[in-house]
């Protein structure tokens, strides 16, 4: 069946279409129907089913006779190790961990925060929670203690599972001191913390609170899978919004299982038993969906890669891993390819490896620029598929569904909407615009299974942030257009979210940190174009009247504050000091105009500007630090 037929079949009867897809899941009690719209515009899928995620991701493959199949390959160039775990081993390890958590009081509905680097134990912790019906919230290791504390206070976990350390090229990330720091800042305290001691750094445990990963499992009874309702939250994943307070995206269990299973064959084109590799991090949605859950649900082998595209040890690492493990389908962010391209522009290192197993490369997380796509197409000789999604949606809104039909690629477009998504481009008044016209991208409600039903503890924020601007639609926060053939083009964000090396960051959150500096009167953080990371944050600071300190010193302090408060992943390293911020007469900071100045793009001086002369000062300040870049 072609893509057009598949999409049309979904559109003709979405509920029947989704009910058909439930056949891929082992249910304790199958759903009686697909959509539960009683609380519209809050929708739920398969709410009255009973099911367990861990059973579907692990145990059922063992029961089906595939216990010897490799479930997880840990590829860790930073520790020079490779480790393989079979499905049978994974089941035993997860059942034991879940048993130990249960023995310490973790039951269905309890929250558990997971703060771990790219090691198989991170996946095992997620699966152990799923086994018990506990709700995990994984926090990315590149966040600093205050960000971890904010998530602890919002999720109120009964337990935290962490590793002693992570390894970044050239430095050890001290997870345990970061965790201790977060627990000093947080108002909520967990009952206990489980610490996995890595040999690179053994952490000091706090007696009475911390237990060691191995010893706390000693002698426990392994836990069986606990069936949960279809609308039971599987996890909470925090993501950046426009303010400093992150949004807790909730994922319901049954829709997550059904949607992810569907994508493995139909979008990524892989069969059970094949090796699937998403080079992301479990702290991001790509890691949740395509390092942990989807490949395991589908019976694939997943690669947990603890390294970087370059420098661990070189720009050929990705190709080595693909050769060594016979990877069939590979998923990464465009920024990773740009990093490789910068070191190996002719892709000479590709020739050192046998990439015959690879059938496709998938890109997401940020706009895939045509140069990078062309480079990858030439280097690898396989389809390079851009696809577009968000933490909120959990899987692709638009893609080129390789497993259904390889549609013609239009470079610069993530192709076409996937079944489940009625994507519309709207004007300010909420009316669909003609093809080729730029507008806000929205998805007609209900969103499909697997997407967010609400925000954790914040249904009103969910409604306000996503549903109120265009009634009847989910507002994606992205702007773009649809061409005459129905292909989508994602051009920009409509809010203050920026995308740095495929990581989603809030300029508002950085502004909150900088504004708290005693010498800063006002500030704005904008995202400026960067050839490697896509965007980089740039601060524009105004100092308090009478402040006679060295501005360079204040900039250094602000950079340190953002690193200590948000984390190194914010990559906030540059700022300028100016007398005033450009504003409209009503006081709105002209961020978009500043972005255009920094990027060297044409712009019109806004008619509503308070004082146009400020723009010259801004341009001079930017030029002094090399913007626009040559």
Joined together, the tokens standing for residue 197 give 């001691």
CB of 366 to ligand AMP, least distance (A): 5
CB of 235 to ligand COA, least distance (A): 17
404 binds ligand COA per the rule CB under 6 A? no
Q: Rounded to an integer, what distance in angstroms lies between the CA atom of residue 159 and that of residue 112?
A: 5
Joined together, the tokens standing for residue 120 give 């198989």
Interaction partner, residue 141 (ligand COA, ligand AMP, none; CB < 5-8 Å by kind): ligand COA
Q: Rounded to an integer, what distance in angstroms lies between the CA atom of residue 242 and that of residue 617?
A: 27
Nearer to ligand AMP, 275 or 385 (CB): 385
Ramachandran category for residue 4: left, alpha or beta (phi over 0 → left; psi -120 to 50 → alpha): alpha
x/- contact string, 375-404, with ligand AMP (CB under 6 A)?
-----------xxxxxx-------------
333 binds ligand COA per the rule CB under 6 A? yes
Candidates 108, 138, 119; CA nearest to 223 is 108
Question: CB under 8 Å to 441, separation ≥6 — which residues?
Answer: 423, 424, 425, 426, 476, 478, 479, 480, 488, 490
Longest Cα pair distance anywhere in the chain, in angstroms? 75
> Among residue numbers 109 through 168, which ones bind ligand COA (CB under 6 A)?
141-142, 166, 168
Interaction partner, residue 501 (ligand COA, ligand AMP, none; CB < 5-8 Å by kind): ligand COA
Asked if 573 contacts 559 with a C-beta cutoff of 8 angstroms, the reply is yes
CB of 259 to ligand COA, least distance (A): 18
CB of 423 to ligand AMP, least distance (A): 13
Q: What DSSP line would sit under 157-206, residue for residue?
A: -SEEEEES-EEETTEEE-HHHHHHHHHHH-SS--SEEEEEPBTTBPPPP-
Q: What DSSP line would sit under 33-57, residue for residue?
A: -SEE-TTTTS-EESTT-EE-HHIII
CB of 532 to ligand COA, least distance (A): 6
Interaction partner, residue 397 (ligand AMP, ligand COA, none; CB < 5-8 Å by kind): none
Q: Rounded to an integer, what distance in angstroms lies between the CA atom of residue 474 and that of residue 95?
A: 38
The stretch near ligand AMP (CB under 6 A) out of 370-378, 472-480, 597-605, 607-615 is 472-480
Asked if 203 contacts 106 with a C-beta cutoff of 8 angstroms, the reply is no
Interaction partner, residue 268 (ligand COA, ligand AMP, none; CB < 5-8 Å by kind): none
Residues contacting ligand AMP: total by CB under 6 A: 21
Phi–psi pair at 305, nearest 5 degrees: -105, 120
366 binds ligand AMP per the rule CB under 6 A? yes
The stretch near ligand COA (CB under 6 A) out of 128-136, 191-199, 279-287, 610-618 is 279-287
Candidates 465, 475, 547, 550; CA nearest to 508 is 465
- Rounded to the nearest 10 degrees, how much is the dihedral formed by the CA atoms of 169, 171, 174, 178? -90
Interaction partner, residue 572 (ligand COA, ligand AMP, none; CB < 5-8 Å by kind): none
Candidates 200, 174, 183, 116; CA nearest to 149 is 183
CB of 577 to ligand COA, least distance (A): 22
289 binds ligand AMP per the rule CB under 6 A? no
502 binds ligand COA per the rule CB under 6 A? yes
307 binds ligand COA per the rule CB under 6 A? no
CB of 3 to ligand COA, least distance (A): 24
Given 569, 577, 581, 618, the residue binding ligand COA (CB under 6 A):
569
Given 117, 246, 307, 365, the residue binding ligand AMP (CB under 6 A):
365
Q: Rounded to an integer, what distance in angstroms lies between the CA atom of residue 434 and that of residue 1?
A: 29
CB of 390 to ligand COA, least distance (A): 11
364 binds ligand AMP per the rule CB under 6 A? yes
Residues contacting ligand COA: total by CB under 6 A: 26
Q: Rounded to an integer, what distance in angstroms lies between the CA atom of residue 469 and that of residue 90?
A: 45
Asked if 456 contacts 45 with a C-beta cutoff of 8 angstroms, the reply is no
182 binds ligand COA per the rule CB under 6 A? no
x/- contact string, 207-246, with ligand AMP (CB under 6 A)?
--------------------------------x-------
Asked if 375 contacts 337 with a C-beta cutoff of 8 angstroms, the reply is yes
Nearer to ligand COA, 54 or 237 (CB): 237
Residues of the shown chain interacting with ligand AMP in the complex, contacts defined by CB under 6 A: 239, 285, 364-368, 386-391, 414, 476-478, 490, 493, 499, 504
Residues of the shown chain interacting with ligand COA in the complex, contacts defined by CB under 6 A: 141-142, 166, 168, 173, 279-281, 284, 286, 308-310, 332-333, 335-336, 339, 364-365, 501-503, 568-569, 571
């Amino acid at each position: 069946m072609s893509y057009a037929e598949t999409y049309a079949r979904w559109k003709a009867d979405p509920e029947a279409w989704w009910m058909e897809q439930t056949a891929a899941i082992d249910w304790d009690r199958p759903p009686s129907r697909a959509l539960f719209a009683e609380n519209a515009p809050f929708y739920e899928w398969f709410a009255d089913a009973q099911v367990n995620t861990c059973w579907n991701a692990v145990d059922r493959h063992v029961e089906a006779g595939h216990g010897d199949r490799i479930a997880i390959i840990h590829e860790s160039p930073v520790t020079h190790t490779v480790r393989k775990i079979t499905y049978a081993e994974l089941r035993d390890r997860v059942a034991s961990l879940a048993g130990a958590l249960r023995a310490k009081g973790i039951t269905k509905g309890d929250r558990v925060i997971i703060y771990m680097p790219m090691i198989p134990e991170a996946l095992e912790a997620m699966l152990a929670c799923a086994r018990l019906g506990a709700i995990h919230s994984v926090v990315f290791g590149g966040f600093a203690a205050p960000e971890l504390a904010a998530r602890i206070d919002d999720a109120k976990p009964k337990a935290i599972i962490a590793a002693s350390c992570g390894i970044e090229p050239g430095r050890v990330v001290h997870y345990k001191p970061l965790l201790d720091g977060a627990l000093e800042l947080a108002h909520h305290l967990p009952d206990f913390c489980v610490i996995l001691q890595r040999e690179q750094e053994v952490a000091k445990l706090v007696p009475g609170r911390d237990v060691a990963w191995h010893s706390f499992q000693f002698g426990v009874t392994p836990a069986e899978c606990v069936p949960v309702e279809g609308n039971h939250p599987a996890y909470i994943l925090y993501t950046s919004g426009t303010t400093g307070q992150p949004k807790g995206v909730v994922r319901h269990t049954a829709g997550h299982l059904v949607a992810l299973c569907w994508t493995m064959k139909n979008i990524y084109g892989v069969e059970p038993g094949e090796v699937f590799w998403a080079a992301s991090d479990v702290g991001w949605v790509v890691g949740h969906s395509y390092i942990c859950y989807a490949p395991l649900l589908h019976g694939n082998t997943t690669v947990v890669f603890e390294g970087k595209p370059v420098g661990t040890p070189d720009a050929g690492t990705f190709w080595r891993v693909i050769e060594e493990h016979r990877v069939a389908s590979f998923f990464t962010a465009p920024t990773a390819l740009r990093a490789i391209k910068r070191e190996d522009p002719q892709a000479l290192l590709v020739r050192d490896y046998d990439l015959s197993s690879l059938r496709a490369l998938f890109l997401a997380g940020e706009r895939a620029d045509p140069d990078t796509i062309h480079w990858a197409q030439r280097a690898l000789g396989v389809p390079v598929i851009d696809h577009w999604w968000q933490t909120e949606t959990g899987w692709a809104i638009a893609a080129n569904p390789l497993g259904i039909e390889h549609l013609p690629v239009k470079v610069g477009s993530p192709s076409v909407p996937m079944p489940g998504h009625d994507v519309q481009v709207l004007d300010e008044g909420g009316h669909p615009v003609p093809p080729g016209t730029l507008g806000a991208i929205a998805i007609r409600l209900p969103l499909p299974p697997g997407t967010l039903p609400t925000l954790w503890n914040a249904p009103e924020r969910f409604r306000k942030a996503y549903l109120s601007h265009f009634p009847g639609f989910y507002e994606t926060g992205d702007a773009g257009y649809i061409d005459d053939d129905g292909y989508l083009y994602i051009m920009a964000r409509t809010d203050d979210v920026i995308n740095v090396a495929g990581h989603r960051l809030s300029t508002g959150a950085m502004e909150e940190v900088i504004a708290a500096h005693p010498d800063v009167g006002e500030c704005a953080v904008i995202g400026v174009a960067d050839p490697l990371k896509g965007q980089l944050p740039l601060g524009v600071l105004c100092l308090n009247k009478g402040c006679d300190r060295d501005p360079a010193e204040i900039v250094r302090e602000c950079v340190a504050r953002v690193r200590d408060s948000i984390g190194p992943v914010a990559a906030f390293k540059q700022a300028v000091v100016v007398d005033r911020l450009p504003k409209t007469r009503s006081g709105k900071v002209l961020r978009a105009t500043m972005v255009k100045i920094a990027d060297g793009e044409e712009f019109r001086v806004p008619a509503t500007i308070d004082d146009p002369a400020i723009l010259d000062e801004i341009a001079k300040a930017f030029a002094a630090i090399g913007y626009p870049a040559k």
